[in-house]
Amino acid sequence: MEVFVEISVIIAIAVVVSGILHFLKQPLIIGYIFTGIIVGPSFLNLVSSSDALGIFAHIGIAMLLFAVGLSLDPGIIRHVGKVSFITGIGQVVMTSGVGFFIALTLGFSVISSVYIAVALTFSSTIIIMKLLSDKGDMESLYGKIAMGFLLVQDVIVILVLMTVSSLSEGFVLSSFAFNLIVKGIGVLGLTFVIGSYLISRVTSIIAKSQEFLLLFSISWCLALASFTYYLGFSIEIGALLAGITLAVSPFKHEISAKMRPLRDFFIVLFFILLGSQMVFADIGQYIVPILIFSAFILFGNPLIVMVIMGLMGYTKRNGFLAGLTVAQISEFSLIFVALGVTVGHLDRGILSLVTVVGLITIAGSTYLILYADNVYAKFSKYLSVFEKKGNKTDDRKYHKKKTYSCILFGYNRVGFDVLKSFEKIKKKFLVIDYDPEVISNLAKQGVSCRYGDADDSELLDEIDFSSIKMVVSTIPSLETNLLLVDKIKKTNKKIIFVATSTQIDDALALYEAGASYVLLPHFLGGHYVSELIKKHGLRVGEFSKTRDKHIKYLLKRKGPGLNGIE
């Protein structure tokens, strides 16, 4: 019962601390670690049942890595495979190399320097996915590239954790080779076979019951984690592989949604326990290393990515935005160093050092990513050194240099119908979209289009708005639309500007800024349904006719970026 009361008090404190961090727009992971620091021996000293919390923490890590495995989509690599692979490998090699040199220079031992250097290379896939999703940039080119090289990092994590697990009982070359190569390949091969030929069929059968699907997912996660632990690897490896096998299932989104509350609860306890184990008596001697390593991650890592992408011919903007996604260390880094402490390679002081670096870089990179466009606008003119001259790999233009009557920003669900209207009134139009796949498909259809982001001031400066009659933005971001209306009205006050919004207050702000009309899709949808009810009443036949017309319309619209896929 003491454990129950202890966890209850700790969770209550976590609510307060995380609420403050949420108000500051920080990832809650920081709040969890701060909670651990507060309830740890350095402050309130409330953690007495560390063994019980440790068990919950291991379950949390298993479920966290299971969720990461579920999100690993190999399709990302197919679209941006080359740049993601080269950038991912290049960033890991350069970051670990520079990090190792810095650690040695600061007086750390060789083994500690290796662990610190490797820990600095990993970025948080989960945090980046959350931030990019919140910004609506998951489908952007830089977002796809970032997710691609984060996937490469995750693969490297598997190999690194397998290596450390193999060394847990002392280094014997033959045993190490057997564990890492034979057992490792065997586990990966078995996982691939099960994922490819069995899991989809099994989940299709049991998915009829959502409770059964959840139970199966938990049991599969824990079973594979236990299996890899039995073979001498960590449970984390098994959990990650369990998620990867289910990533090919058509029900992976349902599984992820069902597992999330359970995962979030246990992962809270892991990071609280991690924070409670920080040894602040040792932090004082690490102040300088902490500041140096944090500065290297916040500024050095993005520079490394910018250099690599610049050499591959990408624009400085995409290099800069992608670079910011590696400006923090991840939960993998903390797990990796914690594993090093467990196997006796490191003392807890190194874990505390890396944890503080994680706190600083996660907090700093969150603000950098959320306000990336504003930061880029201020430093853009200084970043040209990272950009090759001449044609760019990502500067995709599928139109001739001529004047247009209309411009559409964002070819998504709404944009499809807007283009049909442009065609009916026989006006020349240009489509600008930040999804390279959408642009490629439009180009194949002979539509005048180009890759670009409406948030890019440099792109807007290239456009001659003086002869344009109408601009339509299907982008719901208030900041983006305010930037557009400002650029447009400064050049041509007679332009008809149609914006999109999801909030009434935002719509009113756009009208005040000079928008000609603001589209609110949710309100229009409700209005349309009400008109159907007024028109058809309760006549089933009329609704059937409308249904058939709607099905034909949806089939015509089916395609990348148009069929409801986010």
**Cβ neighbours, 10 Å, residue 35:** 26
**Cβ neighbours, 10 Å, residue 264:** 14
Tokens at residue 423, please? 């065609």
Burial of 564 (0-12, 13-18, 19+ CB in 10 A): exposed
Chain center to CA of 501? 24
Three-state SS at 214 = helix
Torsion sign over Cα 303, 309, 311, 314: negative
Sheet strands side by side (includes 449-451) = 397-398, 449-451, 429-433, 406-409, 470-473, 496-500, 517-519
Give the alpha-carbon dihedral of 434, 438, 443, 447, to 10 degrees. Answer: -80
Tokens at residue 457, please? 């001031």
Say which residues have a Cβ less than 8 Å from residue 185's Cβ, sequence separation at least 6.
none
Strand (E) or helix (H) holding 50: helix 50-71
For the chain, give me the number of helices (H) and strands (E)? 27, 7
Domain covering 2-386: architecture: Up-down Bundle (1.20)
Query: Which parts of 377-534 are beta strand (E)?
Result: 397-398, 406-409, 429-433, 449-451, 470-473, 496-500, 517-519
Which pLDDT score is estimated for 400?
Answer: 66
Letter string b/e over residues 63-97, b meaning 16 or more CB atoms within 10 A of that residue's CB? bbbbbbbbbbeeebbebbeebbbbbbebbbebbbe
Positions of CATH 1.20.1530.20 in the chain: 2-386
Q: What is the residue-level pLDDT of the chain in tens, covering all 566 positions?
A: 577 888 888 889 989 988 898 887 777 777 888 888 888 877 788 877 667 777 887 787 788 778 777 766 555 555 667 888 898 899 999 999 999 999 999 989 999 999 999 999 988 877 787 778 777 777 778 888 887 788 788 778 767 776 676 565 555 555 556 556 676 677 777 777 776 677 777 777 777 777 888 888 888 888 888 888 777 666 777 887 888 788 777 777 778 777 878 877 887 887 787 777 666 656 778 889 999 999 999 999 999 999 999 888 888 888 999 999 999 988 778 778 888 887 778 888 888 888 889 888 988 888 888 888 888 888 888 888 887 776 666 566 666 666 788 999 988 767 777 888 888 888 888 999 888 778 878 888 888 888 888 888 878 888 888 888 899 998 888 888 998 988 888 888 889 999 988 888 899 999 998 899 988 887 777 777 888 888 888 888 888 888 888 888 777 765 544 443 33
> Domain 397-557 class?
alpha beta
Positions of CATH 3.40.50.720 in the chain: 397-557
Strand (E) or helix (H) holding 260: helix 252-276
Which pLDDT score is estimated for 7?
Answer: 82
